[in-house]
Amino acid sequence: MRATGESLLSSFSQGATGAGRANSATVAHQGTARPRLPRERLLQASVLLPRDIAYYQAMNTTLLAPPEAPRRGSLAIVGMGMTLGSHLTPLSRSHIEQADVVFAGLSDNIVEQWLERMHPDVRSLQPYYQEGKSRRKTYEEWVDLMMAEVRAGKRVCGVFYGHPGIFAWSPHKAIEVARAEGFPAHMEPGVSAEDCLYADLGIDPGTVGCQHYEAGQLLFYERRIDPSAYLVLWQVGLVGDRSLARFTTSGAYRQVLVDVLSQDYPLDHEIILYRAVTLPIQKPRIRRIALRDLPHVDVPTEETVILPPAAPLKANMAIRERLAALDKMEKEASSA
């Protein structure tokens, strides 16, 4: 910075000298040339007052860099994807490597160990789960942990399995709080279980449509189901839990779910229980059973239930006729 300051001062001095030479004969003033001062007047002008000396002494002071402002904290929430080492994007990896501290909400211990090879300060969020403790309380603690470091001026990266914004309250809340307090915060997407599901089961949601529900919503609320589209139910292993303090519910709760679904699907309708792989050496778990058997099989929370369409798409003839009339009108207007 000292060299830069001296260079600036040198350029200022050269510019002033050059300007003095250029204006030694005449000085432009409001469009009128002023004659050069007599020699005795120049001698008088060369005598500097004390205030002038102080001014020029100040001009020769080395320029100093302004004090650095305290670094502001930031928050990046990234998705690890589902499969170890396969789904992490280069941008998400960059956020992890450049962070001061990394918080990990991952699905597998091995995945956490792999993350620890990428950063020296990885803090697992899993220990905050406890049987009998409300998951909402745990998720609030996660937000507090991440925000404490952001407020301390650190670059914080929260790493979550799959897509960090799907079935994940804490990442969304942490970003909301950070932005409300004026901190930069954003989310990077990741490969989700839904993405893997389409690939592993060969489902194209664009053919007949696809509905996604957290399974409990079908019990707690009056939701409309379209049996002509795919129905994907998440967290069936926890269906019916209102305490947010359990990690699983019994078959009796899944029987209630079957009773609700039987209003739109026959009991012998084939359904799929699916789990995406988390390690490259694994294969996806795919089980096919009748709807009536759902209460009698083990359904871990990480498994998803898919109901294929049970009815064909029904043509909406009234709307089709309306669209045909519009097509005819546009064709006639273009040919007129």
Residues 238, 258, single domain; the answer is: yes
- Residue ending a domain, among 174, 191, 208, is 191
Q: At a CB cut-off of 8 Å and minimum separation 6, what does 194 contact?
A: 163, 166, 212, 232
Residues 174, 245, single domain; the answer is: no
Question: Burial code of 173-193, b = ≥16 C-beta within 10 A, e = fewer?
Answer: bbbebbeeeebebebbbbbbb
The mean per-residue pLDDT over the stretch 113-132 comes to 94
Q: DSSP label at 222?
A: -
User: For position 336, what pLDDT does the model report?
Assistant: 80
Tell me the pLDDT tens digit for each residue of 19-60: 443 343 333 334 444 444 444 443 344 444 555 545 445 445
Residues 80, 121, single domain; the answer is: yes
HSE at residue 91, side-chain half, CA atoms within 13 A, is 9
Based on C-alpha coordinates, what's the Rg of the chain? 35
User: For position 15, what pLDDT does the model report?
Assistant: 40
How many domains does the chain contain in total?
2
User: For position 69, what pLDDT does the model report?
Assistant: 59
Residues 85, 176, single domain; the answer is: yes
Residues 180, 206, single domain; the answer is: no
Which residues have a catalytic role annotated?
135, 139, 161
User: For position 169, what pLDDT does the model report?
Assistant: 95
Q: What is the DSSP string of 85-146?
A: TTS--HHHHHHHHH-SEEEEE-S-HHHHHHHHTT-S-EEESGGG--TTS-HHHHHHHHHHHH
Tell me the pLDDT tens digit for each residue of 255-308: 999 999 999 999 999 999 999 999 889 999 999 999 999 999 999 999 999 999
Dihedral pair phi/psi, residue 33, rounded to 5°:
-75, 130
Does 139 fall in a domain?
yes
Residues 85, 156, single domain; the answer is: yes
Sign of CA dihedral 16, 21, 24, 27: negative
Range of the domain at 85: 74-191
SS3 216: coil
Domain with 272 in it: what CATH number?
A: 3.30.950.10
User: For position 245, what pLDDT does the model report?
Assistant: 87
Give me 265's structure tokens.
């699907």
Does 236 fall in a domain?
yes
Which residue did the predictor score with more confidence, 12 or 322? Answer: 322
- Residue ending a domain, among 146, 166, 191, is 191
Domain with 177 in it: what CATH number?
A: 3.40.1010.10
Residues 78, 183, single domain; the answer is: yes
Does 334 fall in a domain?
no
Residues 162, 261, single domain; the answer is: no
Share of the chain above pLDDT 70, in %: 79
Tell me the pLDDT tens digit for each residue of 197-221: 999 999 999 999 999 999 999 999 9
Residues 151, 204, single domain; the answer is: no
Q: What is the pTM of this model?
A: 0.75
Tell me the pLDDT tens digit for each residue of 217-243: 999 999 999 999 999 999 999 999 998
The mean per-residue pLDDT over the stretch 91-100 comes to 96
Beta strands 74-79; 185-188: pairing state: parallel
